[in-house]
Structure 1
Amino acid sequence: MSEAQVNEEGIISQIRRRFSCTNNRLLVGLGDDAAVIGPPEGQSGGRRLNVCSQVLATDILVEGVHFSRRYMDLAEIGYKAVSVNVSDMAAMGAECVYALGNLGVPRDAENTEVSQLLDGVGEALAEFGADLIGGDTVRAPQWLLSFSMIGSIASQPLTRGGAKPGDAIWHSGELGLSQLGFHQLQAGVEDLSAAGREAHVRPKPQLALGQWLSREEQASACMDLSDSLSQCLLQLADASGVGMQLDLQSYEFSSELQQFASQRRSMAKHGSNGNGSGSFGIPGRMSPDRKAREYSSLSEFLLGSAEDYQLLFTAPASSTARLLRESPVPLTRIGTVLPADEGLMYTDEMGRNRVLQASGFEH
């Protein structure tokens, strides 16, 4: 990519250089999953917005970029548009309170289609405890949904910037399923992974985990996995000013990912070393840009996988027993935080040491 071309990282960098806020009520601003505004001076405690910190996040989904109606119905699209905003609340440890929604509707859309979309929006809002209080609509070349979520938090918000050398690196749930579902949906395969499809079209934000981590002060840094795992790890490392060592040699990849990689190796007649590891390829028909991709390992595929909407966080090593015992959802430790001068590395499932670099699709 040339310096003149626009990418997401460059846009965000420009915004952060040009805009700032001097209001002392802003506790967390540009560069995190959400903004946090403290309560008015002299007010604290309780659960109401006027005596809690307010948490604000926004996301946009565009047809042809974030979703396709070839494999998602409008109710699923509406549900996902809300869910991705809720995931930002989870990353901060907040609870959802209100939502604002903006809707771009194609000129040939019918009332029944709008109704179906709103069914999904309503289902997600009810599930995650938010009320829709306003928004806007406009005619658009394709479907476009943008939601802003307003939440509250009475405890200390989670941020990306607190990881310290020696901390353990954790994630919730199973990773890579959404990417698997996306590739299969894109290609229209018949033996579709049910878990992969569900993870991609109906993500489940980890609200309970985020709130528990914040309330119990168990995480030193946290963010949601909306971008690829590698991109998120690098973002967290940059915000905290640290290095990282990931151990994927003993990582328990989901059975769906292992089966997918095995099928791809078999179809492409790639070699395997006999223990289910080795390189495999993704054909162009499975990618939105129609470009084939080759992965040297399942670890490399996992690091490039996006839209899992799980939580990635760091915690002191001394918290390990409590995290495993009391977390409201299953957790997996994937590495250790290092001093910044020790770099960012990972060991793949075959024991090979690699430099951690950003990979995966960029919107």
Structure 2
Amino acid sequence: MRVSILVKRLLEALFIVFCIITINFVLVRFMPGDPVVHIIGEDEYLRLEAEAPEVIEEVRRDYGLDQPLWVQYVTYLNKTVHLDFGNSYRTKLPVLETVMFRMRWTILLAIPAILISALLGGWLGLRAGWRKGGLLDTVCSPIMLLLNTIPTNCMAIIFLLVFAFRMWLFPISGITSGGLTGLAKAIDILWHMALPLAVLALLRTSSYYMLMKSTVQTIRDEEYIAVARSKGFSQEQVLLRHVLKNALCPYLTSVCMQFGHILGGSMLVEVVFSWKGMGTLIYDAVNTKDFPMLQTCFLFIGICVVLFNLLADVLNLIIDPRTRGEDSHA
């Protein structure tokens, strides 16, 4: 029965991906204005419209914009399946090549931030929630609440001003200084990513802390926790075997959602620190109206969110016996 539940979840994920691809196609086609304007630029479009309108029609044919909408849709689906996303309007380079290059820098920055914050926020929230009103709760909760209310770009600018402009401890922007190889290059990249990584880790730690703390405070008063205590289990055993296990489902779902938004979730931090990842790529594509690049970025983000939601469902089926029981009963 568990296999049938997983197959059902997989089919749902595939249907959602299909819907994302369809919406991605429709949004761009129904935006106001002629798409050719965004391909060749407004000034060039106005000039050609007055002097050589046949060139505009040639561009329209080259991009398939003269075809009926359903033909464009079928062509778009076929190209998407074959990972052919065309060329960027701005750079004329293949979109997939650019996205894959930028994606690795976002992943390099975001994955350590999520892992560090998930472990730190989960551990602190578990301890603070178990001992409500204790020293850890009294000290950490106001700090985490403050961090949780600070906008991402504000935190990034504060770190940039203090540690880069004032103290000169870290680079102001960029991924690497250039001209380095081997271990020296790796160390230089770590030096450049220290500040954006710290910002992302701090902000996510605060949200994970608040989630775990509230979940644990709800669980600690349940009857099965009192039963476990009455059986003579130590505090650590109760905390790890019963409280943590039952708090993991909502917590892992939240962490998986963060992984799902990994490609676009750090955009503001990337822009502030000029980290050339997916965030700055989306920002530049919006400013230059590079629709093929935006389409591909949004498609990748959407698929990433769906996949990690699917992963969260699978983990919940494995961890929570109540979920397995409900699913098998269904």
TM over 0.5: no
TM range (shorter): under 0.3
**Greater strand share, 1 or 2?**
1
Name the structure, 1 or 2, with higher relative contact order (CA <8 Å, separation 6+): 2
- Give the structure-2-normalised TM-score: 0.25
Structure of greater Rg: 2
Bigger helix share: 2
Tell me the TM-score normalised to structure 1 length: 0.23
